[in-house]
């Protein structure tokens, strides 16, 4: 939650974060499948209740890893629920990209239903984009609520190198009802962006921390950039054009 507030205070237009299901079926906001990295303990997220996860210290790891950026209050950060995040930013004009993540043995039905329900409860259809690498989950969200905006995520793979295969990638996104396509920066080539744009799929590129991408995005017609460092990106005065 501290990172989200910091991002918006730095001038970011929105947030991208990951959501998983806790043991008691509550969508919680955390990237990893386990707590090993950020909680410094061995449990899996799916093995703990949302209440127990909220009490886990998931900030001290950052203080230890990045001493120059450390703050005492980070050690009081717990794993928030999606409901808490929606409540925090309900009155702030921010776009929210919600990436659904699933464990190896988890289906996607329960999480998609819970995410769709919370979007409806908080009346956030105009500001939330639900994204996933699992395109079947994207299609499921559309079945639950066709008004929810969705995005198809793609990462670098050897089979995404040719134009023909990029066409297949874009077709797969469209076939699963995606409204946007999210490309890792290594596959966000001019050809890929052009093909997606011609198919009326806005392109979001992740994760870019080089300010040169600002000019590149303007030139290529990229819809949005996802970055780890919005302050650095926005401080660039002379982006490449």
Strands 95-100 vs 27-29: parallel, antiparallel or unpaired? unpaired
176-215: per-residue pLDDT in tens? Answer: 999 999 999 999 999 999 999 999 999 999 999 999 999 9
Place of tokens 């890929």: 192
Pair (220, 199) in one structural domain: yes
CATH number at residue 170: 3.20.20.190
Which structural domain, as residue segments, surrounds residue 195? 155-241
* Rounded Cα gap, residues 197 and 55, in angstroms: 44
* pLDDT score at 161: 55
Pair (141, 234) in one structural domain: no
Listed in order, strand segments (DSSP E) in 49-139 are 95-100, 128-132
* pLDDT score at 158: 62
Q: Is residue 203 classed as helix, strand or coil in its secondary structure?
A: strand
Pair (142, 161) in one structural domain: no
* pLDDT score at 159: 59
Pair (122, 49) in one structural domain: yes
Q: Is the pTM of this model over 0.75?
A: yes
Pair (129, 45) in one structural domain: yes
Q: For residue 135, what is the DSSP state?
A: H
Looking at 151, 179, 201, the residue that finishes a domain is: 151
Looking at 112, 132, 151, the residue that finishes a domain is: 151
Pair (43, 141) in one structural domain: yes
């Amino acid at each position: 939650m501290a990172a989200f507030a910091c991002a918006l205070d730095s001038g970011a237009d929105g947030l991208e974060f990951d959501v998983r299901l806790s043991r008691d079926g509550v969508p919680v906001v955390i990237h990893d499948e386990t707590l090993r990295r950020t909680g410094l303990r061995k449990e899996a997220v799916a093995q703990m209740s949302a209440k127990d996860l909220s009490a886990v210290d998931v900030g001290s790891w950052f203080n230890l890893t990045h001493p120059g950026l450390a703050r005492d209050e980070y050690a009081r950060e717990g794993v928030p629920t999606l409901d808490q995040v929606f409540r925090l930013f309900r009155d702030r004009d921010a776009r929210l990209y919600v990436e659904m993540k699933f464990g190896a043995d988890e289906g996607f039905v329960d999480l998609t239903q819970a995410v769709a329900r919370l979007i409806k409860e908080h009346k956030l259809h105009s500001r939330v984009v639900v994204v996933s690498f699992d395109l079947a989950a994207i299609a499921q969200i559309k079945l639950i609520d066709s008004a929810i905006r969705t995005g198809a995520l793609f990462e670098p793979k050897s089979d995404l190198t040719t134009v023909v295969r990029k066409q297949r990638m874009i077709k797969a996104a469209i076939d699963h009802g995606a409204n946007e396509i999210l490309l890792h920066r290594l596959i966000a080539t001019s050809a890929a962006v052009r093909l997606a744009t011609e198919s009326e799929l806005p392109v979001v590129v992740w994760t870019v921390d080089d300010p040169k991408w600002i000019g590149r995005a303007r030139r290529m017609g990229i819809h949005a950039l996802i970055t780890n460092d919005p302050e650095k990106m926005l401080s660039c005065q002379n982006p490449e054009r």
